[in-house]
């Protein structure tokens, strides 16, 4: 059955959901949009076939009963949790943009409530569908790197000062840096290696002096397999995004996935020809490379929303509970802040 979709929030990320709906026309149909900014809403409605428009999400949830069954929540971060609960209690299945909430407990509460009500609750962790992530996962599953000794993560992105105006520059509304732009990649780390033990975190502000939190952070961690690790998250880089990478050092080789958004293989070196050949087989079967999303003033993660929607249609969507560990990871990083 085709899902009739209403989207709450018509900001930058709206276009990714519209593209995903258009690329899955047999499974999804856009029927309503909501935004508190009437001008933004009217433009979005006109651009999308004059679907129904609302400036009050509760009004949309009430008036669209019987004509809508799937709600996408793409609003400022602090609104995700209450809107998700309201949509579930109104009888809708939901898809929530990152971060689901600022506390792992609240993420689990949404999943528990959905289960209790017999509803579906999904999260947007689309970087999991990067071909490079699939390559790295297969390499680890097949043990090509041997014993893992160290894992490093580096995110060196550019964000203009204006990026943090309004809600993004508020701890209460946006969270902090890791919630806003590192969450996708910390999710990949915990997916592949588990949530590490955070030993220490140092935070700094080098560029965005008007915000009450960091634009640069460094953490030292240790993984449950004994591997050591470092995590650098930095958006004070100029003039543009330079790197987003995970490097794994093992007893049998080295693998680094990099590019601007974990989208390219930078280095893959293995101890023997046999291991190198196995890697080449994995690489050749993992799909084409992809290009990160551009939002004019800045570049973001990779455009996998159509895949995410297709997986939901197949019954393989990422449940909200999949976000619990990534949020816990972020909480642990900040707990060890000096």
pLDDT category, 286, cuts 50, 70, 90?
confident
**pLDDT at residue number 266:** 96
pLDDT tens-digit readout, 58-92: 999 999 999 999 999 999 999 999 999 999 999 99
**pLDDT at residue number 165:** 87
pLDDT at 12 over 80: yes
- CB count within 10 Å of CB 251 equals 10
Here the contacts of 211-216 (C-beta below 8 Å, separation 24 or greater) are 211/164, 211/169, 212/169, 212/170, 212/171, 213/171, 213/176, 213/177, 214/176, 214/177, 215/159, 215/177
Locate tokens 């949790």: which residue?
A: 81
**pLDDT at residue number 302:** 67
DSSP state of 79: G
**pLDDT at residue number 297:** 47
pLDDT at 290 over 90: no
Residue 102 dihedral angles phi and psi, to the nearest 5°: -90, -10
The stretch 114-127 carries a mean pLDDT of 98
pLDDT at 263 over 70: yes
**pLDDT at residue number 298:** 43
First to last CA, the chain: 52
- CB count within 10 Å of CB 315 equals 7
Q: Which residues pair with 137 in a beta bridge?
A: none
**pLDDT at residue number 35:** 99
The stretch 302-312 carries a mean pLDDT of 92
The stretch 15-21 carries a mean pLDDT of 97
- CB count within 10 Å of CB 230 equals 14
How far, in Å, CA of 311 to CA of 199, rounded?
Answer: 37
Q: Which residues, in sequence order, are CB contacts of 192 under 8 Å at separation 6+?
A: 136, 137, 140, 246
Ramachandran class of 159: left when φ > 0, alpha when ψ lies in -120 to 50, beta otherwise: beta
**Domain architecture of the chain: domains with CATH:** 3-123 (3.40.50.720), 127-302 (3.30.360.10)
Length of the chain: 338
pLDDT tens-digit readout, 139-185: 999 999 999 999 999 999 999 989 998 999 999 999 999 999 999 99
pLDDT category, 292, cuts 50, 70, 90?
low
């Amino acid at each position: 059955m085709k899902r009739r979709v209403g989207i709450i929030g018509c900001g930058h990320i709206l276009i990714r959901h519209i593209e995903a709906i258009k690329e899955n026309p047999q499974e999804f149909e856009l029927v309503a949009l909501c935004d508190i900014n009437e001008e933004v809403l009217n433009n979005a409605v006109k651009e999308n076939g004059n679907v129904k428009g609302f400036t009050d999400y509760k009004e949309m949830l009430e008036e669209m009963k019987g004509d809508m069954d799937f709600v996408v929540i793409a609003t400022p971060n602090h609104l995700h949790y209450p809107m998700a609960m309201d949509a579930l209690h109104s009888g809708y299945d939901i898809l929530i943009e990152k971060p689901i909430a600022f506390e792992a407990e609240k993420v689990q509460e949404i999943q528990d409530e959905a289960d209790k009500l017999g509803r579906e609750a999904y999260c947007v962790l689309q970087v999991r569908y990067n071909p490079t992530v699939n390559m790295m996962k297969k390499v680890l599953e097949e043990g090509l790197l041997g014993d893992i000794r160290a894992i490093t993560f580096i995110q060196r992105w550019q964000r203009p000062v204006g990026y943090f105006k309004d809600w993004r520059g508020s701890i209460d509304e946006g969270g902090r840096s890791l919630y806003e732009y590192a969450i996708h990649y910390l999710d990949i780390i915990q997916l592949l290696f588990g949530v590490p033990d955070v030993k220490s975190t140092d935070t700094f502000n080098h560029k965005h002096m008007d915000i009450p939190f960091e634009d640069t952070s460094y953490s030292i961690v240790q993984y449950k397999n004994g591997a050591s690790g470092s995590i650098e998250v930095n958006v004070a880089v100029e003039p543009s995004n330079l790197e987003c990478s995970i490097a794994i050092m093992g007893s049998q080789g080295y693998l680094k996935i990099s590019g601007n958004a974990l989208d390219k293989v930078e280095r893959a070196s293995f101890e023997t020809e046999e291991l190198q050949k196995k890697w080449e087989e994995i690489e050749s079967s993992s799909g084409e490379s992809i290009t990160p999303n551009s939002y004019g003033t800045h570049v973001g993660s990779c455009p996998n929303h159509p895949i995410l929607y297709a997986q939901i249609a197949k019954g393989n969507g990422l449940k909200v509970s999949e976000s619990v560990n990534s949020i816990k990871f972020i909480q642990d990083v900040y707990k060890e802040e000096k």
